[in-house]
Amino acid sequence: MAYYLVVLDDVNYVNDELYYTAIAGGERAFMKMLANKTVVGKKLLDQMLYPVTKEQLDECRKYNPIVQLFAHGFRYFNNVPKDVIRQAKKGECPAFPGMTVITVDADIVPETYKYYKLTFFKVSDYKEAYKYRMLSKMPSVRICGRLYIALDAVDIRIDKPILVTFKK
């Protein structure tokens, strides 16, 4: 079991395993809380997270969760307009010099997820062997142990970023 504490927009959330272990007192009690709407989750991409109070947070910290900070969403990821992507594919992109564009067949990615104006897909759904070496240049985020890549976006902190787009 992995326990995660996610700080998103200055609110503390935990994954279901940590919630039912530290707060609910078991999985069965947690299911009852969900059924009675005593606790209501928030969906972040395809992950359900549950808000905790300060007192509950103190209980959760006793289990040494993995802390993930998303202070203000994904503020370093910028959507890239289609005309800029076309320029980059030709190697003529002054907005992002050195940007590499990877085109992925949309058929190999079964599901995408929206967060604000960004679209993500799970890396496990992307079946290319060289992907792991390139992740540091892509706009990627790890949430509760799963890795996601933003489509048609770049991480503005990266020199020579890699942009991933779908083949139309």
Q: Are residues 43 and 11 in the same domain?
A: yes
Domain boundary among 51, 70, 89: 70
Among 48, 70, 92, the domain boundary falls at 70
Please give the pLDDT value at position 52. Answer: 96
- The one-digit pLDDT tens for each residue of the chain (168 residues) are 699 999 988 899 999 999 999 999 899 999 999 999 999 999 999 999 999 999 999 999 999 999 998 765 577 788 888 888 777 777 777 777 788 888 888 888 889 999 888 999 988 755 665 666 778 888 888 899 888 999 999 888 888 888 888 886
**What is the DSSP secondary-structure string of 28-88?**
HHHHHHHHTTSS--EEETTEEEEE--HHHHHHHHTT-PEEEEEBTBSTTEEE--HHHHHHH
Return phi, psi of residue 150, to 5°. Answer: -85, 135
Domain that holds residue 98: 77-167
User: Is residue 51 domain-shared with residue 126, that is, in the same domain?
Assistant: no
Same domain, 65 and 115: no
- 40 and 90, same domain (yes or no): no
Does 137 share its domain with 60? no
CA-nearest of 12, 113, 112 to 53 is 12
**Looking at the structure, do residues 46 and 128 belong to the same domain, yes or no?**
no
Residues 61 and 117 both lie in one domain: no
Domains held by the chain: number = 2
